Amino acid sequence: MNKNQPDILIAVAMLIMLLALQILIGAGFYDAGVVFKYGDPRSSIILVISTGIVITAAMSFTGLNYSELFHASDKSIKSTVLMLFTPVFLVVLGSVWWFVDLMGFLISFMPEDKETIDMLERMMSGGVVSVISICLIAPFLEEMLFRGIILRGFLSHYPPSKAIILSAFLFGLYHLNIYQMFVTFWMGCFLGWLYYYSRSLWPVIFAHAVYNGGVYIRAINHDWKLNSVVMNIMMLLVSIGGLFILVRIFNVTLSLRNRFNDSIK
């Protein structure tokens, strides 16, 4: 066990430091006359600076380099991405419909407040800036921190299931929005599971980007009539099919790895 890998206490301290940095950097922009409203996609510059500082500090503390951070698998990046691209896409594409509509149904029992609605509309209405912020910046930075550093550290301290659940819980808590916490927790569980078996951030970043992109497309196309029961059942089956393929791939990979380990003992 690497004692420099973050456990739950260190991870919580990292997130507190991250939030503190975001407040300080935001205050700096405010003092400079640059005011970002809550949800303004241009405020992603604050996320880039603050998360970059925390990730850099964590990598220095743990001794990680960028190559290890992004891809710790014994398989090449190309083979990993090619092998997982289709099933990951199927799982996430399906979830953009059935999971989003399920969350919409649950939220109907506890309607969002006006501030939250305004924040989400502001986040989605920035055009190219929104696309870059939601589909590129957030997936890269959040996966580097939560799966590449925090989950990786947890896996050296806790059993896999506990490590994945704890990292997903922190991922949900980090968003500081009760309406997003449930979504990000379950998404964090899937992304953590995907990282644990693939040992690579690339398919995880891809999954995160596809999900965010799908949600963005649905959000700006209010006239889409795709939230029918039949459509959701079809998309749920698509997700299950992709998940089944992933499980088969990972089971075969583990079997081959175990045989290799047995052969060299």
> Tell me: the pLDDT tens digits for 102-157?
777 777 777 766 777 777 788 888 889 989 999 999 999 999 999 999 999 999 99
Nearest of 247, 177, 180, 206 to residue 92 by alpha carbon:
206
Within a domain: 203 = yes
Within a domain: 1 = no
Residues of the chain with pLDDT under 50: 1, 256, 259-265
Within a domain: 54 = yes
pTM, two decimal places: 0.90
The alpha carbon of residue 96 and the mean position of all alpha carbons in its chain are separated, in whole angstroms, by: 14
Within a domain: 78 = yes
Pull the structure tokens for residue 122.
Answer: 């502001």
CA atoms within 13 A on the CB side of 86: 7
Q: What is the DSSP letter of 129?
A: H
Number of domains in the chain: 1
Report the pLDDT value the prediction gives residue 149, as an integer from 0 to 100.
Answer: 96
Range of the structural domain that residue 140 is part of: 8-263
Nearest of 44, 23, 39, 43 to residue 136 by alpha carbon:
44
Long-range contacts of 58-62 (CB under 8 A, 24+ apart): 58/6, 58/14, 58/145, 58/149, 59/149, 61/4, 62/2, 62/4, 62/5, 62/6, 62/149, 62/153
Within a domain: 19 = yes
Within 8 A by CB and 6+ apart from 74, the residues are 199
Within a domain: 230 = yes
Within a domain: 256 = yes
Within a domain: 3 = no
Report the pLDDT value the prediction gives residue 255, as an integer from 0 to 100.
Answer: 56
